[in-house]
Amino acid sequence: MTIREIQEEILRLKKEKNICILAHSYVAKEIQEIADFTGDSYALSVKAKDTDADTVIMCGVRFMAETVKILSPEKTVYLANGVAGCPMAEQMDVDSISAVKQMYPDYAVVAYINTTASLKTICDVCVTSSQAVDIVSKMPEKNILFIPDCNLGDYVKNQLPEKNFMLLSGGCPTHAKIDEREVLKAKAAHPNALFLVHPECKPEVVKHADYVGSTSGIMNFAKKSDAKEFIIGTEISITELLQYDCPDKKFYPLTKDIICSNMKATTLVDVYNTVKGTGGEEIVLDSETITRARKCIDKMIELGE
Ligand code: 13P
Ligand code: SF4
């Protein structure tokens, strides 16, 4: 079968079976083309809450599929490829964070959405990179334990000097491996380009940015900007998507190896098999986990509106 034929079969089957397909902007373009919604972590969480499909297929990583199940427990939710996890989400667990909470009981726990469902059960609120600053600024608590990403945590901390932050050493291996020398090299090669960066990058990278924001934030900034050249400091798919969306502008990846292998694990055939009912992994969470984890996701949606 050709890519086009597989896409057409997926579109036919998902209509017949009332399936909604969600795809993060980092997954392959041929998957994004057949998705009902594409976007960053925040946009996908909101769409997950609103869809009235019976079944949702997440083309992204495990914590995203878990978020859909938590928000819509009555739906059947699949992760299109069960091996697609987020290494950052696996870095901290309930036991380690419970121990920190015991030592610092007067700190509110803010969890990046890139955490497991079970860890969310002991956190006060979730955030995504697109609204982390806004949400933490609206919290009444002054003392904030921000987990797991210390780079995003550092960025939020710098925007909110009125709060006390405690950060732990977690982070995204894909973004955190970029170092300052690569930024200086890219800027020297493209002196007229604006530098747009994701806050999962290290502070010494972020400090050179003309704009810091989530995946969608970076895309919207580049589309609206009058500038003609941009260095993109996030997953390589975003450079490619922007080239399609704005053929009159030039986009340079900060480095060619900012690739999240987990986001790239899902193939169009995985999606096809999941839609047919012969593939994917169904997300199963117990009702207590769903109820307790939902509180901090609902709080994120409430404060983020
Ligand atoms: P956003 O989609 O919120 O920009 O986060 C990027 C990311 O790394 C997703 O896992
Ligand atoms: Fe996780 Fe980083 Fe990949 Fe996002 S880009 S899924 S944070 S490893």
Q: Which residue has a Cα nearest atom 3 of ligand 2?
A: 260
Query: Which residues, judged by CB distance below 6 Å to any ligand atom, belong to the binding site of ligand 2?
Result: 61, 86-88, 114, 172-175, 235, 260, 262-263
Residue 13's pLDDT band (boundaries 50, 70, 90)? very high
| pTM for this entry | 0.95
* 165: β partners: 144
Residue 40: CB within 6 Å of ligand 1?
yes
Could you say which ligand is closest to the alpha carbon of residue 175?
Answer: 2
Q: How far apart are alpha carbons 96 and 234 in whole angstroms?
A: 29
Ligand 2 centroid from CA 171, angstroms: 9
**With contact defined as beta carbons under 8 Å apart, do 60 and 84 qualify?**
yes
96 token code pair? 């380690």
Ligand 1 centroid from CA 265, angstroms: 16
Helix 215-224 with 41-50: angle, nearest 10 deg: 110
Tell me the CA distances in angstroms from 9 to 20, 57, 78, 133, one per residue in order.
14, 15, 18, 42
223-229-234-239 Cα dihedral, nearest 10 degrees = 70
Q: Higher model confidence: residue 268 or residue 43?
A: 268
**Centroid of chain to Cα 301:** 15
Q: Does the pLDDT value for residue 80 go beyond 80? A: yes
Which pLDDT score, from 0 to 100, does residue 304 have?
A: 84
Ligand 2 centroid from CA 261, angstroms: 9
Q: How far apart are alpha carbons 285 and 289 in whole angstroms?
A: 7
Residue 131: CB within 6 Å of ligand 1?
no
**With contact defined as beta carbons under 8 Å apart, do 279 and 114 qualify?**
no
The single residue listed with the structure tokens 């079970």 is 118
Residue 214: CB within 6 Å of ligand 1?
yes
**Tens-place pLDDT, residues 186-221:** 999 999 999 999 999 999 999 999 999 999 999 999
For the chain, the average pLDDT equals: 96
Q: How far apart are alpha carbons 221 and 201 in whole angstroms?
A: 18
Sign of the C-alpha dihedral computed for residues 44, 45, 51 and 54 taken in this order: positive
Say which range, 42-46, 71-75, 237-241, has the weakest mean pLDDT.
42-46
Q: Is 100 helix (H, G, I), strand (E, B) or coil?
A: helix
Q: Which residue has a Cα nearest atom 6 of ligand 2?
A: 86
Residue 152: CB within 6 Å of ligand 1?
no
